[in-house]
Each structure stands twice: as C-alpha cells, then as structure tokens.
Homo-oligomer: A and B are copies of this chain.
C-alpha cells in the first residue's frame, strides 16, 4: 500500500468516527483536515468532492461491518446460534465510539435524494437481507417454526438493534444491552 492509500485510510477512519458523531452531512472538510493534521486542499485532493468522501466513508463502514460482524458470525453454527452471534457482534460494533454510522445515515438521509441516500438504501437492504437469510436458515434447521416469516423476524430483530442504539448512545442506559438481549430472546422464543 503506497503512501497515498495509507493516508486515505487514515482519513476515512477519522471521517467515520466523526460521521458517527455529527452525521455524514455534518462532515466538514475543514474540521476533518484539522483532526487529521492535513491541509484542507491536501485532504480534499484525495476525494475530489465531498460527496465522494461521504460515499467512501459508507463503503469503508460497509466492509468493516462485513469483517467485524457478518463474517465472524457466519462461522457460528447455522440457524439460531448464527442469529445470536450476528446480533451480539452488531451490538459490539454499535457500542464503539460514536455508534454505527450506517444507522445514523439511515435516519439522516431518509429524505435527501442523491447518490449518498441511494447507497445507504442499498447497504441497509443488504444488511436486512443478511438478517433475513440467517432467519430463514433457522427455519430450515428446525430451530424456528415452519410458518415463521424470515423477513418479518428480520425486521423485528432490526428493531431490537435500533432500540439498543437509542438506549445505549442517546440515553446512556446501562441496561441497554440487557434490554436488547431480552428482546432477542423474546423474538426467538416466539418463533420457536
């Protein structure tokens, strides 16, 4: 990896953290340049436009979710254990500094047309499809009843994750994780 690529990675890391705190739209070249100790123009040259920066931040977080959440969970046994692993690792991921930037972006860009919104929509669809597939596997394995709709279950699980985000990040409720665990247990029990 050349010097430029390395610097760009470092910028995207800082940008991800910042975006989680103040949103993708709130990202500012000047602020980001100050945090990375680069000049505005030097940083800007890496991306060519703010929108491109935003898109690359999304991409970076997408691959991080795959690496830190999805791929490890796929090593768990199929069905219910895999679902639990997926949720558990997502909760870890969202507990990091600033929470999950994709979640923040999902609520920030839900009414702002453009390439950024389009990408957020696609990523959120992908994530929900992943959840759905794992739930469907649970049905196939016999962990869940045959009449369980995997999509519905996936949406319910997504609700647990979003509620955790609010309880943990906004309300700083120390029981947030416990609530999420209980919520998942309830859903799984109801699907059994």
A170 adjacent to B104 (CB under 8 Å): no
- Interface pair A186/B179, CB less than 8 Å apart: no
How many copies of this kind of chain does the complex include?
Answer: 2
Chain A residues bordering chain B, tally (CB within 8 A): 46
Query: Is A189 engaged at the interface, CB distance under 8 Å to the other chain?
Result: yes
Asked if A124 is at the interface of the complex by the 8 Å CB criterion, the answer is yes
Q: Which of A80-129 contact B (CB under 8 A)?
A: 98-99, 103-104, 106-112, 120-121, 124-125, 128
The residues of A with any CB-CB pair to B shorter than 8 Å are 20-23, 25-26, 98-99, 103-104, 106-112, 120-121, 124-125, 128, 149, 151-152, 155-156, 158-163, 165-167, 169-171, 179, 182-183, 186-187, 189-190
